A and B are shown apart, each in its own frame.
Chain A
Amino acid sequence: MAWAGIISIDFLYAVASLILVSLGLAVIFGMMRIINLAHGEFLVLGSYAAILSSHAGVNIWVACLIVAPLAVGMIGFVIERLLIRHLYGRLVDTMLATWGLSLFVVGLLTTVFGNDTQGVSAPLGPIHIGDYQASGYSLFVIGLALVVLAAVYGVLRFTRFGLFARGTMQNADMAAALGVHVSAVYSTTFALGAGLAGLAGGVLAPVTGVFPSIGGAYIGKAFITVLSGGSAILAGTSSASVLLGAVDQIGTFATNAVFGQVGLLVAAVVLIRFMPQGITSRFFRRSL
């Protein structure tokens, strides 16, 4: 029984971290049809923001949950203004430009911080389930993923910005004709996506530690999750996270973490063959 509890915590943690890591990418892709190849670097920037501010004496919770998303959100806003804005409608060029940005940021971080791994210790101690131990922080990450999903749903569904954003997503010209400031919606959406990436980076920083090129370790999973999910941001990300998280965990239990990743990739490639537009092209079609 206790063992089953531990297994399910592991599984839920895998799903939750997939959701957190992918959600920023999914928001930007779902709303703006842009694949942001610098997503991994947004995560890393979030981690650095959290670690540096906590070393500077900021409370660890504030550093992870507030400083990291705000800092990266602002960076995202600036990047949208300087870079992405000039490339709307040119999907491939946007990908290439964000890839250039990603290399640039890795280079910049390496120049500034060097190639060392930095870290902070996780703030919650272990909890005991029968004879086994689970990390309290894992439970916190699981809870946070649920809260973030609910918050994004709330913003998109119930706020004025969410209404404008969904309208712009469906038909930008019509939204503009009805008086929506489309370009402001785009930059806010991009900043929101970047902020979510920053939050994920901040929250995962105590678990993984951070060095400039660690973004590469996240982005593969994030891309696969978003592609498999399809265009519905929340339903797509959650369903793909559950499916791929399960595959990942089974692979990891059967062999090791690396082959879990391979299983995840193979599952996604086969899935794409039969559902090219992702899971939400067939299931949960009308969801957000």
Chain B
Amino acid sequence: MIAQVSALLRGHAGTTALALVGLGLLFGLPLGLETYVLLQVTVYVTFAILALSLGFVLGFGGILCLGQSVFFGLGAYTYGIAVTDMGDSTIPVLLSVAVPSLFAAALGYFIFWGRISDVYVGVITLTVSLIFFSVVNSTAGPQYHIGAAAIGGYNGMPNIPGINLPFEPDDTLDPNGVFYLTMGSLLVCYFGLRWLLTTTFGRVVVAVRENERRVELLGYDARRYKLLALTLGAAIAGLAGCLFANWGSFVGPSVFSVVQSAQILIWVTVGGAGTLLGPVIGSILISWLTAVLGTQQTLNASLVLGFILLVFVLVVPGGIAAVARRARTAAARLGAFGAARRIGREAHPGARP
């Protein structure tokens, strides 16, 4: 039994190490960090979940979704509205995942069943986010409300109640609890997606990205797989939105903004599309950079972000993940070269190196 487990672990050394690091961060950070820093880290982790959602949709589904912020914002607003109306957060959390998923499924039907090209998918999703922004932005005033929850237009929704233990409205999570929930969600999403990509479903999704027509000729309905991939990505983005609204007790229309959409894409592009870890790392690096940029006045944040996106598209296609992979290959080759030289010297002691 132990031998079997250790053999299994050896086969997945990288995954095991990553899981240990993840669990270490999950339990270690609340012990080691001050509450203020922990709150900051929590929002980075929330963004990492969001980055993961687009990393899956774009990198593995091959769906050029430029409006991932729609699903994020829908999740955030759904949670905000539902929890204000219901008081208890259990069902609102579930709704904040369900509503974006349903919306993605409806949108995906029109996009994928129309069989439009990548570029069109990008433009439509981006336009949807633009329209959501202007609609939500214009709903200021008491006449726009759902139940008791005013949508608030450009002012946003302040004072959103926090997440509580299931069905116990009085037992709201403290900052440590919120961190556990957020980091735990990231780990579940990350390893869940890793697992999903090893299943038949995951393999077909990747195959559709590689060659849609060939997959169809093999008898799979590519449209359905793309639709499911987009919907799953929307569900994860919705969860991130829910955590975001809970984190700040606030949600405003800027969750739908073009800059928000662009940011998610920049996380993925910088980290590396086609990997799951890349977007997570990219999101944390860029969020940290944005926070640093926010503290000074000379450089405008969107100037820097735009420049980063340009540089990565032009000079570093594949992002950090590709650079790391190249570095690892180069190191391995160098190691192999050194080993070959050593063997050569041992075999022919007199030969010149």
Chain A residues within CB distance 8 Å of chain B: 35, 37, 83, 86-87, 91-93, 95-97, 99-108, 110-111, 216-217, 219-220, 223-224, 227, 256, 258-259, 261-262, 265, 268-270, 272-274, 276
Contact = CB atoms under 8 A, between A and B. Distances in A.
Interface residues of B, number: 45
Contacts of A100: 305-310, 313
Interface of B: 64, 66, 107, 110-111, 113-116, 118-120, 122-124, 126-128, 130-131, 133-135, 138, 257-259, 262, 265, 269, 299-310, 313-314, 317
B306 to A, nearest CB: 3
Given A104-B307, A220-B130, A97 B314 contact: yes
Tell me what chain B mostly uses at the interface: helix, strand, loop, or mixed.
helix
A93 B300 CA distance: 24
Contacts of B138: 256, 258
A97 B310 contact: yes
A126 B302 CA distance: 40
A116 to B, nearest CB: 15
B310 to A, nearest CB: 4
Contact of A107 (B120, B123, B265, B304): B304
B64 to A, nearest CB: 6
A110 B300 contact: yes
B114 A276 contact: yes
A110 B120 contact: no
Rank and list the top 8 A-B pairs by shortest CB-CB distance, nearest first: A107-B303, A103-B306, A104-B306, A100-B309, A100-B310, A220-B130, A107-B300, A107-B302
19 contacts: A83-B314, A92-B64, A92-B118, A93-B313, A95-B66, A99-B262, A99-B306, A100-B309, A100-B313, A103-B262, A103-B306, A103-B309, A107-B301, A108-B300, A223-B126, A223-B127, A256-B138, A269-B124, A276-B120
Contacts of A224: 127
B134 A258 contact: yes
B314 to A, nearest CB: 6
Given A220-B130, A262-B135, A95 B122 contact: yes
B176 to A, nearest CB: 36
Nearest to B138: A258
